[in-house]
Structure 1
Amino acid sequence: MDSEQIVKLRERLLQCAVCMDEYQDPRILPCHHTLCLECIESVVKASPLTGRFFKCPQCRADVAVPRGGAELLPINFYIVSLQDELATKEYSGTCDVCSRDWIAVQFRCVDCDLDICRFCIHAHRLETHAESPKIFRIESGSSGNSANICPDHVDESCQLFCRTCNQAICVACSCSSHRHHKTLPLNAHLQESTKYLQTELDRLISEKRCVLKAGEDMDKLKQEVGDCQKQSVARLSTAAEEACKYVMERLQTLETVIKTSAREQEEEIEDAMKDYRFYLQHIEKGVNFLKDMQASDMCLEAVDAYRVFDSRLNRLKKHFTSKKFNLQLCKFIPCVHTSVFSVNLLDRHFYHFGKLGTLTNSKYSIAFDHKTNQPVRYLQGLPGLLHIRGSVVMLRAFVVFMLFQLVLYVGDATGINSWLTSVIGV
């Protein structure tokens, strides 16, 4: 492209509508027209509005200036790129990451609003953002070869790579400051780097597949845990309902047993009470007769009549006191504390619900004392035997005898008796 065409393009595309000169720090307006930053500030100051609004000099559209000032208006990178391509303006700036002023800024991160050099752009892409950032190139076309210029020797280009220092160097540097370092041609290093990056790409793709597979497996495990939780809760609820149902059934059964036993015992006691009431009536008759005899005259006929009555009264007493009946008391003793305890055995937890209480049957034999006429209880079964004199001693002797027999049996089975016999014989 000749100079005349470049001039025409500059006049058509790179000329500010306010200062009529080439754009200096071009900023794009909401109406998509572009003005220099200084021109925007001067138009805002000259605007009769509130200081935040002005009319576009080209389309007369109302433009609102950001609260932070005109500096917050976006840069027109399209104009900047044209200036770079036409070599009319070289973008100048300092890297906002490393702040090295001797390196030309070649990239801009729109998400972070930062100017970044070619040395910091890769780390910024990998580490700063969780997702791929929006990054634009702002380097000029004429500065493309300046990246290979040696910083120590301006007239030399970097043709070698120093492995020791991990940087590109020129031939002069390899003979001076990098004399004893490991070097190789820059093209060879680039080929190795290309192969390394391709290998890493393949590895990361494979690793990504593995990680995605692991994520799927974790989702399945999560689903399995959720399903197991739902099934366990449902089964626990069912077991609790069945346990409550079983307890209620047992409650009805035991209520029937207790009530039936109580009714039978009441009938036996009521049968004994008939003889008791009949005997009591005769005693009252005798008492009333003797009181009347004390108030009236004594006669032999009355004494003879009382003697006959007394003999009949003795027969009634013998009949009443000789009567015996059995008594069975069903007692339910509730537990003071009902709890749930668990036992861990081979990674299995066994849960047991504590007992509600104990139902006991106390069996008695009821007899009447001939002297006091009072009912006396006698325990039946094993508890009754234990109350007999000497029964406890006999039971203890039986237990000791059985333990002795058990020791002899174990000794014969294990050979200890033979060993003891041989030792004693020696």
Structure 2
Amino acid sequence: MASADLRKELECSVCLDIYTDPIILRCGHNFCRDCIGHVLDALDDSGGYCCPECREEFQDRPALRRNRTLRNIVEIFLSAQPDEEEPRVFCTYCIHTPVPAVKSCLQCDASLCDDHLKVHSKSPEHVLCDPTTSLENRECSVHKKILEYYCTEDSTCICESCRLDGEHRGHQVETLDEASEMKKQLRNNVQKQMVERKELEKRVQGLQERATSLFGVLSCLDDRQKRLMSEITEWTK
């Protein structure tokens, strides 16, 4: 909850995202440099400027002063966020130089690079899977045999005995390689959807930024119009 509250305090009111190169105006409000720049650019021909948050007016275009303290807080906050990247798996046999693994062998309890995979045993008991650091659950807890199949009905990995004589007999199963390939395709589809979603979010953010800038401009112009109408009323009395 504290992290969520802090994140909210670190969001620019224009783009609604974490501050990027935060700028502070004389009124004390902060904005991303690009965000407040767009707002001020839109006010260039209006005869004055104002803060899009509190509407305080400035006769001249306000100088953009970097808020170094806030920038440091943002950097500390972002660096403290958990790293969501999966840990890299390296070849067990490349002991001098770390080389990324392309497969892990459940029988050998080892991960293999391209070169070591070429000379690795091709016998059936050597079951290969995607590179992983978690090989401790490679055996069936019931039959103590290598897990070679994936039961699609029960969503679990099974061994040969489970498939032929155990509780998964007659179930729809796939080899671990087939299941891994399907999982890879699903992951690629999800990643593609995430990329498309991010592009859509950027477009929406751009529209929000433009709308906020326009709203700030209109609000400032509306304030000036009201003041001018009041002055005109006073003159005509």
Judge same fold: TM > 0.5, yes or no. Answer: no
Larger-Rg structure = 1
Which structure's relative contact order is higher, taking Cα pairs within 8 Å and 6+ residues apart? Answer: 2
TM-score by length of 2: 0.44
